[in-house]
Structure 1
């Protein structure tokens, strides 16, 4: 294995995947959310960048081809676990997350079973869009935690009536509570919509791979 720039970026992306969860073990929120968001977005950008470098600089390798999808799946799966956990198992997040996780396990199992013929399950353009949709949705949902906890910090010690008066416009909004609450709601609902879109694309690619694999799953005549 040659340590080319694309391979190094892929390995770093793989290491960043568990780092997203580790941020919440060593830092308090919202700092953990900020660090996790930065790590996730940076790693997601390298997903495009290392592929572009590999093609343009003719540095494509079997090691990179093997590790790249593993790094992508690790990032998505770990981020989904973190977001689902901190959402309080919100069904609007849990259901699309379940679809995505089921598809990833199912397709990985197909590839393992097919062995030498797994090459027929090559990554399609739709699968690339699926990965992009997943990355964007998860990044948006990570930002929700940032706005949520900054809002909680600013209203700490306030009584409910005061908070309600500020949000309704009866009192001046010196702490920008309305803006924080708007961004919190916007990123949550926007992230949920994007996550459902990603889940739909994920299911479609899973069905596509299964259809391609069916001829190779039939029992041979005795």
Structure 2
């Protein structure tokens, strides 16, 4: 592994992910909401920044290609867990989070099963949009703890449901692309 700025940012995002729920243990609300929002927005920004720097300065690495999606998934999934808890398992938020968690576990399992062949299945532009919509939805839902207006909660919920829809589409796309590698009767 090379200690490049993009790799360091991905590692920091990965380390921040499991600390995220502790924010709600250490602080009462609304202070916890403010800290969580700041941490999540900062982590989300590093997701874009590390990729940009890696491409712009030719610092892409195998380690970065491995750790970046893990850090993204860890941050999003753990933040979803916190949001579901903060919203008292509100039905639409819980259902959308369940779809997102299922897809991420399913695709991770596919990648693991495919091994080296998984590298042939590139991340699509829609998958990048999926991640962006997930991060924006979580940001809005976390902001609702600070701005408890019904419109903010509704917007966050709608964005999370949209993210779940994109998650299903990109998961199905990944499965379709993986299918030839999964077939037993390869000829």
Choose from 165, 174, 177 the match for 1:209.
Answer: 174
How far residue 221 of structure 1 moved from its aligned partner, in angstroms, is 6.8
| TM-score (normalizing by structure 1) | 0.82
Residue matched to 1:115: 115
Aligned residues: 187
Distance 1:87 1:45 in 2: 24
Secondary structure of the corresponding residue to residue 147 of structure 2: helix
Q: Distance in 2 between matches of 1:206 and 1:221?
A: 23
Question: Displacement, 1:24?
Answer: 0.6
Gaps of 5+ in 2: none
**Are residues 1:190 and 2:155 paired?**
yes
Q: Would you say 1:219 and 2:166 are equivalent positions? A: no
Give yes or no for contact 1:19–1:36 (8 Å, CA) kept in 2: no
What's the secondary structure of 1:147's corresponding residue?
coil
- RMSD over equivalenced CA pairs, Å: 1.2
Q: Equivalences for 1:56-205 in 2 at 5 Å?
A: 56-148=56-148, 184-205=149-170
Provide the C-alpha distance between the structure 1 equivalents of 2:186 and 2:55, rounded to a whole number of angstroms.
43
> Looking at CA atoms only, which structure, 1 or 2, has the larger radius of gyration?
1
What is the alpha-carbon distance in structure 2 between the residues aligned to residue 221 and residue 61 of structure 1?
32
Q: Which runs of 4+ in 1 moved over 3 A?
A: none
Alignment CA distance shift 1:219-1:38 (3 Å): same
| Cα shift at 1:116 | 1.5
| Map of 2:36 onto structure 1 | 36
Give, in whole Å, the separation in 1 of the partners of 2:147 and 2:185: 58
TM-score normalised by L of structure 2:
0.97
SS in 2 for 1:145: coil
Deviations 1:104-163 (A, max 9, x none): 010001111111211122111000000000000000000111234xxxxxxxxxxxxxxx
- Tell me how far apart the structure 1 counterparts of residues 68 and 167 of structure 2 sit (CA, whole Å): 17
* Gap change, CA 1:221 and 1:141, over 3 Å in 2: closer
